[in-house]
Amino acid sequence: MNLEQASRQLEALGNPTRLQLYRTLVRAGPAGLPVGGLQERIGIAASTLSHHLKRLVETGLVTQERQATTLICRAHYPAMDALIGYLADECCADAGCVAVAAAAS
């Protein structure tokens, strides 16, 4: 994980629609959700949704698996782990950060 990759992932999550999208996928759990299901829940145009999803997939935060004509989307936890780890490292380099202190306890 380097600064460029981290910033790309952060930017991907730094849009309310995409963050909501990611959140929805997390709440959907390991089963994931098809693109159409996401569209129902979020309520945006299919093309807009596809753009956002593409961004999340490109940055590795979401994976997609084809099942016949439907595309199942899932939150890709390892990517979020790595991102949080990077932020925590940056944040807590001087051990002044509560998050790592809590994790260490």
Partner DNA sequence: CCTCTATTTCCATCATACCGGAAGGATAGA
Partner DNA sequence: TCTATCCTTCCGGTATGATGGAAATAGAGG
When binding is defined by CB under 7 A, the residue of 4, 30, 31, 66 that contacts DNA is 66
Q: Is 48 in the site for DNA (CB under 7 A)?
A: yes
The residues, ordered by sequence, that sit 6+ positions from 30 with a Cβ below 8 Å of its Cβ are 74
Which three-class secondary structure state does DSSP give residue 49? helix
Binding mask 38-77 for a second copy (x = CB under 8 A): -------------------------------------x-x
Neighbours of 102 (CB within 10 A): 8
| Interface positions with a second copy (CB under 8 A) | 3-4, 6-16, 18-20, 22-23, 26-27, 29-30, 75, 77-78, 80-81, 83-85, 87-88, 90-91, 93-94, 96-99, 102-103
